[in-house]
Chains A and B, each alone.
Chain A
Amino acid sequence: GNSVTQMEGPVTLSEEAFLTINCTYTATGYPSLFWYVQYPGEGLQLLLKATKADDKGSNKGFEATYRKETTSFHLEKGSVQVSDSAVYFCALSDQGSWGKLQFGAGTQVVVTP
């Protein structure tokens, strides 16, 4: 079956540091890949997505590239802010099954001033 593995947290960074959160997946076929973010006290929000190999999703300065050869979808941001402190979830779904998501365990990111 499908599975998602992402790096454990918490990840603690200083403001303006570079952030990388690793995510790898196992899936049959060609899944769609997502990053969701959960800010303190809030529900999940879609951060970015990619639906086919070599696609790059981007939003709010975050980027992730769908790498089929390495089955990875690593999240990156060049300069984090305190407001980026949140829990980040990598997820996948089979094509066309947008709500049936397989999530990673989540990575807490803490950005300090």
Chain B
Amino acid sequence: SQTIHQWPATLVQPVGSPLSLECTVEGTSNPNLYWYRQAAGRGLQLLFYSVGIGQISSEVPQNLSASRPQDRQFILSSKKLLLSDSGFYLCAWSDREEAFFGQGTRLTVV
């Protein structure tokens, strides 16, 4: 069966520090991968999606970037975090029927 792993679960980082969140999927090949963010009091917003290795589409302009170095690995990064980057980050993959989400990372930028 397919599983999705996302870590860390919680993270507290100072303003201006770098960020790297990792997501891996097991049990499927060539999945579509996604990064979502939920800011406080708001719904989930799609940040990036990828249909293959090295192929990244950005949905909103922001201080973050994404990379897909391997088929089942999706990384969310920032060189310098802003306070506004705080939120709940969710990785997801999709097949032809639905999207499957990881457990999420709660990022607090202080």
Segment among A11-19, A40-48, A60-68, A70-78 that sits at the interface with chain B: A40-48
Decide if B49 touches A43 in the complex (CB within 8 Å): no
Partner of B43, one of A43, A45, A98, A103: A103
Which residues of A in the span 32-51 have a Cβ within 8 Å of any Cβ on B?
A: 34, 36, 42-46, 49
User: Any chain A CB within 8 A of the CB of B94?
Assistant: yes
Q: How far is the CA of A42 from the CA of B44 in the complex (A)?
A: 15
* In the assembled complex, B7 has its CB within 8 A of some CB on chain A: no
Residues of chain B lying within 8 A (CB to CB) of residue A44 = 44, 90, 92, 101
Interface of B is mostly: strand
Please state if B43 and A99 are interface contacts (CB–CB under 8 Å).
Answer: no
Which residues of chain A come closer than 8 Å to B6, judged between CB atoms? 43
Is there a chain B Cβ closer than 8 Å to A53's Cβ? no
Check A31 for interface membership: any CB of B closer than 8 A: no
Q: How far is the CA of A82 from the CA of B101 in the complex (A)?
A: 24
Q: Is the CB of A99 within 8 A of B92?
A: yes
Q: Is the CB of B101 within 8 A of A45?
A: yes
Please, how many angstroms separate the alpha-carbon atoms of A21 and B100 in the complex?
23
> Counting CB contacts under 8 A, is A25 at the interface?
no
Cβ-defined contact, B103 with A43, below 8 A: yes
Q: Is the CB of A101 within 8 A of B90?
A: no
Q: Which residue of A lies closest to B96 (CB)?
A: A98
Q: Are B102 and A101 in contact (CB under 8 A)?
A: no
Q: Which of B33, B38, B41, B98 contacts A46 (CB 8 A)?
A: B98
**B46 at interface by CB-CB < 8 Å:** yes
Could you tell me the distance between the alpha carbons of A53 and B92 in the complex, rounded to whole angstroms? Answer: 26
Considering the complex, give the chain B residue whose CB is closest to the CB of A32: B98
Q: Which of A45, A46, A49, A103 contacts B44 (CB 8 A)?
A: A103
- B46 to A42, Cβ gap below 8 A? no
Interface residues of A (CB under 8 A from B): 4, 34, 36, 42-46, 49, 89, 91, 98-106
A-B contact pairs, 7 of them (CB 8 A): A43-B101, A45-B101, A46-B98, A99-B32, A99-B33, A100-B46, A103-B45
